[in-house]
Amino acid sequence: MIDFNNIKTAFADKSDTDLQRAYLLFKSMSNPRLSKALTGLSQFALKLHLPIKPIIKATVYKQFCGGETIEESQTTIDKLWESKIGTILDFSAEGKESVADFNRALAQTLASIEKAAISDSIPFSVFKPTGLCKFSLLEKINNNTPLSTSDEKEKQEYEARVNAICKLAYDKNVAVFIDAEESWIQDAIDSIAEEMMQKYNTKKALIYNTIQLYRNDRVTYLNSILERSENKFFVGLKLVRGAYHEQEIARAKSKNYPCPVHTIKANTDKDYNTALKTCIQNIDRVSVCAGTHNENSAQILANLLEEHGLSKNDDRIYFSQLLGMSDHISYNLSKADYNVSKYVPYGPIKDVMPYLIRRAEENTSIAGQMGRELTNIIAEKQRRKNA
């Protein structure tokens, strides 16, 4: 059994100041009203160009982000690597809609692949499809809506951006994750992800699609991609539960279609753990990254490795968490010699705000998770006081 309760290991590289900052942050986020007020206020102040960037940068940004640029994230990369935790540089500017923004996200992703190619401490790169084209375009592709001439041109540009990333990943032998998004654009994402796998996963899995197991059709999807890939290409998969649960339920309700996600948490958990099992059973042609903050799922994957006689540091199997969250999982897994990495979001403060707000909302709304972060921080503060 992995000892996730070892908080000394979990916070070994955090100073007392780091701990106090984390304590105040998670404490404020645990209060939904305060959290909402603070995020609203920050956005408003940024819009008015009030000088609050230094405050954001020293608090919530410092907890959850590496820096404004790849170079600025180096301190975080090095610090994680001292505990043998790899970094996944995630350019987190979200909700952008101009060609200049798409090309900027492309350039950042290519730069992160170049950086990964020369750094042992960076095992993967990542991109979000909506960073590379308009959300509405993906919706049209998803629904087979006839495309206008300008849509068609945008689609070709988007596909060229995705291909440029995957080709560089292939040329540099760097694995790249394609993040999963809302269900109403996900078929379009799955389709290009699979195309890229066919093209570039010829010798091993370098292109990873993401499966959200809160969806009630994803175990079926997993089995179908395994069937389609047999003797054709290697499959790379990041398994997550999914970040848009409330939006999925609300949209299905308002548009009156069957809800695509589980509404009972235990069913999401069951599908997540089934997917872990299926991936390990097919490990000769699947590479898997468990993107989770759930201790039980992390333990299940560790047990599966043992049952299947796989080495803890088999490079086809990774655990991954987000920077600033669930250090008790990341650091204890790494100490036990498993492959661990953290998403390290980076980018200009105002562009990263939607990501930070999601973290604040997630930490407010998910029962259990929030409590665990705070409990651990309080316990570690107490342990240091008594030491």
Ligand X SMILES: Cc1cc2nc3c(=O)[nH]c(=O)nc-3n(C[C@H](O)[C@H](O)[C@H](O)COP(=O)(O)OP(=O)(O)OC[C@H]3O[C@@H](n4cnc5c(N)ncnc54)[C@H](O)[C@@H]3O)c2cc1C
CA 230 to chain centre: 27
Say how far apart CA 117 and CA 338 lie, in whole Å.
21
List of long-range contacts for 7-11, beta carbons under 8 Å, 24+ apart: 7/328, 7/376, 7/379, 7/380, 7/383, 8/380, 8/383, 9/331, 9/332, 9/335, 10/327, 10/328, 10/330, 10/331, 10/332, 10/376, 10/380, 11/327, 11/331, 11/376, 11/377, 11/380
Burial status of residue 181 (CB atoms within 10 A of its CB: 0-12, 13-18, 19 or more): buried
Does 209 help bind ligand X (rule: CB under 6 A)?
no
**Tokens 């409590």, located at residue:** 371
SS3 119: coil
- Smallest distance from ligand X to CB 362, Å: 7
Among the residue ranges 54-62, 154-162, 200-208, 287-295, the one whose residues contact ligand X (CB under 6 A): 287-295
SS3 286: strand
Task: Kindly identify the residues of this chain, within the stretch 41-70, that bind ligand X according to CB under 6 A.
Answer: none
Say how far apart CA 211 and CA 63 lie, in whole Å.
27
- Smallest distance from ligand X to CB 145, Å: 24
Task: Kindly identify the residues of this chain, within the stretch 294-323, that bind ligand X according to CB under 6 A.
Answer: 294, 320-322
Does 263 help bind ligand X (rule: CB under 6 A)?
yes
Does 180 help bind ligand X (rule: CB under 6 A)?
yes
Among 94, 154, 179, 373, binds ligand X (CB under 6 A): 179
Among 214, 233, 331, 355, binds ligand X (CB under 6 A): 214
Instruction: Select 265 or 381, whichever has its Cβ closest to ligand X.
Output: 265
Does 292 help bind ligand X (rule: CB under 6 A)?
yes
Instruction: Select 147 or 278, whichever has its Cβ closest to ligand X.
Output: 278
- Smallest distance from ligand X to CB 249, Å: 9
Say how far apart CA 237 and CA 210 lie, in whole Å.
6
- Smallest distance from ligand X to CB 239, Å: 9
Among the residue ranges 2-10, 77-85, 206-214, 306-314, the one whose residues contact ligand X (CB under 6 A): 206-214
- Smallest distance from ligand X to CB 151, Å: 25
Strand locations in the chain, DSSP E?
Answer: 85-91, 124-127, 175-178, 207-212, 235-240, 286-291, 317-322, 340-346
Does 258 help bind ligand X (rule: CB under 6 A)?
no
Instruction: Select 151 or 187, whichever has its Cβ closest to ligand X.
Output: 187
Instruction: Select 296 or 382, whichever has its Cβ closest to ligand X.
Output: 296
Count of helices and strands (H, E) across the chain: 17, 8
Among 86, 242, 324, 347, binds ligand X (CB under 6 A): 242
Say how far apart CA 259 and CA 287 lie, in whole Å.
30
Closest CB to ligand X: residue number: 291
Q: Quick one: tokens of 216? A: 């009630």
The count of chain residues that interact with ligand X, using the rule CB under 6 A, is: 26
Does 356 help bind ligand X (rule: CB under 6 A)?
no
Among the residue ranges 30-38, 57-65, 208-216, 229-237, the one whose residues contact ligand X (CB under 6 A): 208-216
C-alpha triplet 170, 171, 173: angle, nearest 5°: 60
**Closest by alpha carbon to 293, among 8, 54, 10, 9?**
10
Instruction: Select 22 or 276, whichever has its Cβ closest to ligand X.
Output: 276
Give the interface with ligand X as residue ranges (CB under 6 A).
Answer: 179-180, 210, 212, 214, 240-245, 262-265, 268, 291-294, 320-322, 343, 366, 369
